[in-house]
Amino acid sequence: MGQHRTATAPDYRTDFFGWTQHQAKLLLTLRRLGAQLPAELDLDRVAEEVQDLGGAELNSVKSLVRQTMVHLVKAASDPGSAASKHWRSEAASFHADNLDRYATSMRRDIDMQPLWRRARDLAELQLQEHDRTLVPVLPKVCPFAVDDFMAEKFSFDGMLKRICPANSAANQE
């Protein structure tokens, strides 16, 4: 059962996102069987739900990337904050969670610029709650690629240097 896998079919255990997208496409090809399928089978909705399961996993990865960026922006903007250690450990946790969820098939569906823009906006709001502001030299264009967040080793300081070289030394322990 389930042994008719092509060489290009993603594996459920190693690429859940890719598997859901592939399975949804396969389900929709069953339409051509028409009368041979049970009349009550709603192929379009079943395929959509399978595809949405993968979409939820993708959204989880994007959220973790954005949250990591929020903490990086806050650390760059307020290097002397008592919360710096917390931001560092939270970012490391987000990274670890992402390693468990990310599949390379997601790469083409992750646009870093909107994630960066939202991270900047969220960090700004969170900093304002503590009478702090964004560092003025913060890049407008995302200084990161998807792979920066999926590397096995996570370097908070290395990423911090990429967004604000002048403040990164103050954040090191």
Contact 59, 110 (CB under 8 A): no
Instruction: In whole angstroms, give the CA distance from residue 76 to residue 73.
Output: 5
Residue 31 CB: number of other CB atoms within 10 A? 11
- Ordered by start, the domain boundaries in the chain are 58-171
- Taking only the tens place, the pLDDT of each residue in 44-80 is 899 899 889 989 999 999 999 999 999 999 999 999 9
Average per-residue pLDDT for the chain = 89
Instruction: In whole angstroms, give the CA distance from residue 6 to residue 109.
Output: 23
Q: What is the CATH number of domain 58-171?
A: 1.20.1220.20
Instruction: In whole angstroms, give the CA distance from residue 133 to residue 7.
Output: 52
Contact 44, 131 (CB under 8 A): no
Whether 170 has a pLDDT exceeding 50, the answer reads no
- Mean pLDDT of all residues in 137-160: 94
Task: Say which range, 9-18, 93-102, 105-114, has the weakest mean pLDDT.
Answer: 9-18
